[in-house]
């Protein structure tokens, strides 16, 4: 039987794309409290099936596939540019495929405008009308309005007309940044990308006997299984260690490890790997709404995914990427060091290198040093600076990493930072090493 929370989520899923949603209306329709309705709507927003827009409200949108994550809906554009919807609200859920800046003559502009476009233009009513007729949404910059006839046309065609106070250049920059941010997110592998779905794996119920564990073990050769209650909510995990010497007639509930660590679909694989290495576990249940089991992650799958991630090209550059690309490696007398120039982007308001940038540089040089000794992935446990002096803008620094200790599962690296032949920083990094043979 579905909980009230699940009933509301199902109700939202059944709504037509573009439908408006309100806490009060859902509470009234499904006879639940407004608090329950609010929590369910927030969960639906996290799942990407509704979007809340200022001065418009909450609407049902189409969940976007991961392959299209770089695409934006017009509803999201409204949020990005802090805009106001003048007409065509019913089309806010539609996806933006490209945007066209209307800074040319009308005839030339219309050659680039087609269905799924967003025409960014100022106070040019003719362009607004022609753009809508070509199947494009309109973003009016400079805080201008448009004519009532254009608004009616937008409503009829279900294509949004949005007004923003920002100028055309600023708006284009804001949308570009949003798309770039999504390209970076696209490159992040999540638990949902590699999990083994519930219908392709095995699990035990609390009331099952230990005999059932033995049957599954013979059938699958696996020794770890999540345990669920009658509502498929995860309540434990059982492994071979738990059932050693236990009579086969014993209920699984009595021997399982209770309140196990779990992750959601949106947990990154890197976070899952850290959790597994840190806690020394081989299996992670993946849960959905109401703590229900939707699949599992195994240590082997997580490590394989991390290996694959390293081989994939980076789609968008993060701040760490921009910082570490400045590192240049050099080897002298069997000692490896790295050189880096402190660019203006790496400094704080005082004109000296920022602590965060130094942390990134130290971490990356220590990683490189460890990987030369032991191939594979690692998870940083902590970085401690125990000496640091200010380094000015445009200075050239040298980072010298020295591996102090390394074992199968652990590494310790000391990093010295030099400028003009003097030590300006010292740090220690400890890392957990991911054993791919596990």
Tell me, what's the pLDDT at 225?
94
Tell me, what's the pLDDT at 276?
84
Residues 6+ apart with CB under 8 A from 3: 290
The pair phi, psi for residue 134, each rounded to 5°, is -85, 0
pLDDT of 191 over the 60 cut = yes
* pLDDT tier at 64, thresholds 50, 70, 90: low
pLDDT of 248 over the 60 cut = yes
pLDDT of 401 over the 90 cut = yes
Q: Which CATH superfamily is domain 74-187 in?
A: HprK N-terminal domain-like (3.40.1390.20)
Strand-pair category, 95-96 with 72-73: antiparallel
Tell me, what's the pLDDT at 126?
92
Answer for the pair 59, 28: CB distance below 8 angstroms, yes or no.
no
Give this prediction's pTM: 0.52
Tell me, what's the pLDDT at 67?
41
* pLDDT tier at 345, thresholds 50, 70, 90: confident
CA angle, corner 314, sides to 312 and 320, nearest 5?
A: 125
Q: Residue 303, Cα to own-chain centre: how many angstroms? A: 19
Q: Region 395-424: what's the mean pLDDT?
A: 92
Tell me, what's the pLDDT at 101?
86
Tell me, what's the pLDDT at 311?
54
Architecture in CATH of 319-434: Roll (3.10)
What pLDDT, in 10s, does the model give residues 98-127?
888 887 788 888 888 988 899 999 899 999
Residues 6+ apart with CB under 8 A from 349: none
Q: Region 402-426: what's the mean pLDDT?
A: 92
Domain positions in the chain: 4-60, 74-187, 191-308, 319-434
As a whole number of angstroms, the distance between CA 75 and CA 79 comes to 7
What pLDDT, in 10s, does the model give residues 2-42?
788 888 988 998 888 778 899 999 999 899 998 888 988 88
Q: Region 282-310: what's the mean pLDDT?
A: 83
Tell me, what's the pLDDT at 1?
64
Fold observed for domain 191-308: CBS-domain (3.10.580)
pLDDT of 339 over the 70 cut = yes
As a whole number of angstroms, the distance between CA 54 and CA 83 comes to 8
pLDDT of 285 over the 90 cut = yes
4-60 CATH: 1.10.10.10
Answer for the pair 134, 56: CB distance below 8 angstroms, yes or no.
no
SS3 assignment for the chain: CCCHHHHHHHHHHHCCCCCEECHHHHHHHHCCCHHHHHHHHHHHHHCCCEEEECCCEEEECCCCCHHHCCCEEHHHHHHHCCCEEEECHHHCCCEECEEEECCCCHHHHHCCCCCCEEEEECCCHHHHHHHHHCCCEEEECCCCCCCHHHHHHHHHHCCCEEECCCCHHHHHHHHHHHHHHHHHHHCCCEHHHHCEEHHHCCCEECCCEHHHHHHHHHHHCCCCEEEECCCCEEEEEECHHHHCCCCCCCEHHHCCEECCCCEECCCEHHHHHHHHHHHCCCEEEEECHHHEEEEEEEHHHHHHHHHHHHHCCCCCCCHHHHHHCCCEEEEECCEEEEEEECCHHHECCCCEECHHHHHHHHHHHHHHHHHHHCCCCEEEEEEEEEEECCCECCCEEEEEEEEEEECCCEEEEEEEEEECCEEEEEEEEEEEECCCCC
Which of the two residues, 181 and 288, has the higher pLDDT score? 288
Instruction: Work out the percent of the chain whose per-residue pLDDT is above 90.
Output: 37
Which of the two residues, 65 and 78, has the higher pLDDT score? 78
Instruction: Work out the percent of the chain whose per-residue pLDDT is above 70.
Output: 90
* pLDDT tier at 380, thresholds 50, 70, 90: confident
Q: Region 190-214: what's the mean pLDDT?
A: 91
Residues 6+ apart with CB under 8 A from 148: none
* pLDDT tier at 216, thresholds 50, 70, 90: very high
pLDDT of 438 over the 70 cut = no
Tell me, what's the pLDDT at 69?
40
Average pLDDT, the chain: 85
């Amino acid at each position: 039987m579905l909980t009230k929370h699940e009933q509301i989520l199902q109700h939202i899923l059944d709504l037509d794309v573009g439908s408006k949603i309100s806490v009060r209306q859902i509470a009234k329709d499904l006879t639940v409290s407004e608090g329950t309705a609010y929590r369910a709507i927030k969960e639906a927003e996290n799942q990407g099936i509704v979007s809340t827009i200022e001065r418009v409200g909450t609407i049902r949108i189409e969940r976007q596939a991961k392959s299209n994550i770089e695409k934006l809906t017009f509803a999201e554009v409204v949020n990005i540019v802090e805009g106001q919807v003048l007409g065509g609200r019913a089309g806010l859920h539609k996806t933006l495929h490209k945007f066209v800046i209307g800074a040319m003559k009308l005839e030339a502009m219309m050659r680039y405008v087609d269905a799924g476009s967003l025409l960014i233009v100022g106070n040019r009513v003719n362009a607004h009308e022609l753009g809508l007729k070509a199947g494009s949404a309109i973003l009016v910059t400079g805080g201008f309005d448009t004519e009532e006839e254009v608004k009616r046309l937008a409503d009829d065609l279900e294509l949004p007309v949005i007004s923003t106070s920002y100028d055309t250049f600023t708006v284009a920059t804001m949308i570009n940044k949003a798309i770039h941010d999504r390209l970076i997110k696209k490159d992040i592998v999540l638990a949902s990308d590699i999990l083994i779905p519930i219908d392709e794996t095995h699990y035990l119920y609390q009331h099952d006997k230990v005999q059932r564990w033995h049957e599954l073990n013979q059938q699958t050769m696996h020794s770890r299984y999540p345990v669920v209650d009658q509502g498929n909510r995860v309540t434990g995990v059982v492994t071979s260690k738990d059932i050693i010497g236990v009579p086969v007639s014993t209920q699984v509930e009595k021997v399982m490890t209770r309140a196990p660590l779990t992750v959601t679909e949106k947990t990154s694989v890197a976070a899952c790997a850290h959790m597994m290495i840190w806690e020394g576990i081989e299996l992670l249940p993946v849960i959905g709404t109401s703590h229900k089991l939707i699949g599992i992650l195994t240590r082997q799958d997580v490590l394989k995914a991390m290996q694959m991630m390293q081989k994939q090209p980076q789609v968008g550059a993060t701040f760490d990427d921009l910082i570490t690309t400045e590192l240049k490696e050099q080897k002298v007398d069997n000692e490896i060091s790295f050189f880096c120039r402190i660019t203006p982007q790496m400094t704080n308001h005082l004109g000296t290198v920022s602590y965060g940038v130094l942390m990134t540089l130290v971490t990356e040089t220590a990683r490189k040093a460890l990987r030369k000794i032991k191939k594979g992935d690692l998870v940083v446990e902590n970085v401690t600076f125990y000496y640091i002096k200010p380094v000015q803008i445009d200075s050239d620094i040298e980072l010298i990493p020295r591996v102090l200790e390394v074992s199968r599962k652990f590494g310790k690296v000391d990093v010295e930072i030099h400028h003009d032949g003097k030590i300006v920083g010292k740090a220690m990094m400890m890392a957990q090493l991911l054993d791919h043979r596990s």
